[in-house]
């Protein structure tokens, strides 16, 4: 299959740049993760990917970050190379968070910076509610998890029944949709269905949203947002800006939902400034 083959190519490319591919068994899953650490890391940075993708989403930024930071980028269960022991169950958000809690408790003894993209941002917020003392900075990239009027449309958008449905979804994700991606759309459709992405989205409950919890986030929180995002509403940013006690907002004008892929250099510059404690 094409998509798993692409993941294997990414893994080989990262290995060539000194980034190790590792596995750890936690919570009924053989969790795969990438890890790299320079001799004197400035901090530890954990990267959590979004729905339907894998740690491969960091391929353009991980090598650069790994020169300065101890970086860990796991595949969530059922994605990339992380394989649930009991087949392929449909995970709830709480299931994913439970895996993150056990994985990070096992692998990291100290505080760290936690960065999550899209669904990964949602999961990192829910993780932070359980392990706030472990996080010295939370970075949210085009995060999901904030309810706004019309959010229900996403359930329909992820009800993927054809290549055409998948093409419409991908066009909402990118501001500048690469023309060559159209060649892979049938394989993306196959992969998303195989990984039960539509069922995961349908399983999201009203109590999963974290709007009411935002005032309780007292660690520094930085929000990075590709302004051309057509998947999630900019109302998310407004809500985060209003309710986070210690939040800062960083807007990327020329990007959609995946700035780490669309504009990796600009994304990296913002992340470095956040980690350095500088205000843009």
Give the per-residue pLDDT at 181.
81
In the chain, which stretches have pLDDT less than 70? 87-88, 278-280
Please give the model's pTM, rounded to 2 decimal places: 0.96
In the chain the domains, ranked by start, together with CATH numbers, are 2-276 (3.40.50.1820)
Query: 182-238: per-residue pLDDT in tens?
Result: 889 999 999 999 999 999 999 999 999 999 999 999 899 999 999 999 999 999 999
**pLDDT at res. 278:** 53
Determine the pLDDT at residue 2.
87
Residue 280: what pLDDT?
43
Are 215 and 245 spatial neighbours (Cβ–Cβ below 8 Å)? yes
User: pLDDT at position 222, please?
Assistant: 97
CB contact set of 254 (below 8 Å; sequence gap of 6+): 175, 228, 262, 263, 266
Q: Which of 213, 166, 150 is nearest to 174 (CA)?
A: 166
DSSP designation for 17: T
* Integer Cα distance of 237 and 118 in angstroms: 13
pLDDT given at position 35: 98
- Residues 251, 268: Cα–Cα separation, whole Å: 13
Residues with Cβ within 8 Å of 65's Cβ and at least 6 positions away in sequence, in order, are 45, 71, 268, 271
Place of tokens 């843009």: 280
């Amino acid at each position: 299959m094409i998509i798993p083959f692409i993941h294997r190519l990414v893994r080989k490319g990262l290995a060539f740049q000194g980034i190790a591919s590792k596995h750890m068994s936690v919570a009924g899953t053989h969790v795969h993760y990438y890890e790299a650490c320079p001799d004197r890391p400035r901090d530890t940075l954990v990267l959590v990917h979004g729905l339907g993708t894998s740690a491969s989403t960091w391929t353009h930024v991980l090598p650069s970050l790994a020169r300065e930071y101890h970086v860990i980028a796991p595949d969530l269960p059922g994605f990339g190379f992380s394989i649930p022991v009991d087949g392929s169950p449909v995970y709830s958000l709480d299931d994913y968070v439970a895996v993150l809690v056990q994985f990070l408790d096992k692998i990291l003894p100290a505080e760290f910076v936690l960065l999550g993209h899209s669904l990964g941002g949602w999961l990192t917020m829910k993780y932070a509610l359980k392990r706030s003392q472990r996080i010295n900075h939370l970075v949210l990239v085009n995060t999901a998890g904030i309810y706004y009027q019309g959010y229900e449309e996403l359930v329909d958008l992820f009800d993927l029944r054809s290549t055409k449905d998948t093409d419409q979804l991908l066009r909402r994700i990118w501001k500048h949709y690469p023309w060559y991606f159209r060649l892979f759309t049938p394989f993306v459709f196959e992969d998303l269905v195989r990984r039960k992405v539509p069922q995961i989205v349908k399983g999201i409950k009203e109590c999963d949203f974290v709007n009411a919890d935002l005032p309780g986030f007292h660690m520094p929180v930085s929000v990075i947002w590709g302004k051309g995002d057509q998947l999630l509403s900019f109302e998310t940013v407004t809500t985060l800006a209003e309710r986070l006690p210690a939040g800062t907002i960083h807007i990327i004008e020329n990007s959609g939902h995946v700035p780490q892929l669309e504009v990796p250099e600009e994304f990296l510059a913002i992340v470095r400034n956040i980690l350095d404690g500088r205000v843009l």
